[in-house]
């Protein structure tokens, strides 16, 4: 089995690369991919760069070019749900694209014909994450994650996304990765550690907590790999 482990930024995959025994760096399609192994599982690690276009390209490459059979995404997100605090972990049950708007044609936000507002994540991988959380003594929240090509640092926009999509957190890659994996029938799992509150202080909070939140998310995903290796 070969598993993709993906992030959006170098900071999000750096803790993952540190845990690999050895890895080979491969340059392809304007990006770098790191092939290695972890607990007997072949893995390909990559950061996409920020946004839906780059994450779509990277997820597709990991599946179609490198032959990955599952995809785990590790990264950070802004909180919408007031119960989520910096450092908390959230697992996506389903994902939407909050900036997809053809409402002029009578469709709901986030929808295109022959598509869907939400894409559901793989239930088996979510269940594994529950076992991992219990073994680590961590609390992980399940929820809806909204994706868009915007770094949201505005209370009004944040609240609109929460109200419109029932979203608990927001980020810039998960929804597009979900569309790719769903279309190609590849089980996927998206874990985010909260780095900010997506409000007027978000840019300051993001810079301050990015690395610590990324480490929190990455360590959890690597523990999931250990569990998957035993199944």
Which residues are identified as catalytic?
12, 196
Q: State the Rg of the chain over Cα.
A: 16
Tokens of 85: 């605090």
Tokens of 88: 């908390």
Q: Is the CB of residue 65 less than 8 Å from the CB of residue 214?
A: no
Between CA 33 and CA 1, with CA 88 as vertex, the angle to 5 degrees is 35
Between CA 162 and CA 157, with CA 92 as vertex, the angle to 5 degrees is 20
Q: Is the CB of residue 41 less than 8 Å from the CB of residue 229?
A: yes
Spell out the residues 6+ positions from residue 163 whose beta carbon is closer than 8 angstroms to its own: none
Tokens of 167: 């979203």
């Amino acid at each position: 089995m070969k598993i993709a482990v993906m992030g959006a930024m170098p900071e999000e995959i750096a803790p993952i690369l540190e845990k690999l025994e050895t890895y080979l760096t491969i340059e392809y399609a304007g990006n770098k991919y790191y092939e290695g192994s972890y607990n007997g599982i072949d893995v390909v690690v990559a950061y996409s760069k920020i946004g839906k276009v780059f994450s779509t390209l990277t997820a597709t490459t990991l599946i179609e070019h490198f032959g990955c059979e599952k995809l785990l995404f590790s990264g950070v997100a802004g909180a919408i749900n007031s119960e989520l605090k910096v450092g908390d972990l959230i697992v996506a049950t389903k994902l939407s694209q909050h900036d997809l708007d053809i409402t002029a044609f009578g469709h709901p936000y986030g929808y295109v014909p022959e598509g869907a507002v939400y894409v559901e994540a793989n239930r088996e991988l979510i269940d594994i994450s529950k076992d991992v959380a219990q073994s680590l003594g961590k609390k992980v929240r399940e929820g809806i994650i909204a994706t868009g090509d915007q770094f949201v640092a505005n209370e009004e926009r944040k609240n609109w996304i929460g109200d419109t999509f029932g979203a608990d957190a927001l980020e810039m890659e998960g929804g597009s990765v979900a569309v790719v994996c769903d279309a190609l029938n590849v089980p996927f799992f998206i874990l985010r550690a909260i780095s900010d509150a997506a409000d007027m202080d978000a840019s300051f909070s993001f810079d301050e907590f990015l690395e610590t939140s990324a480490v929190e998310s990455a360590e959890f995903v690597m523990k999931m790999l250990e569990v998957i290796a035993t199944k």
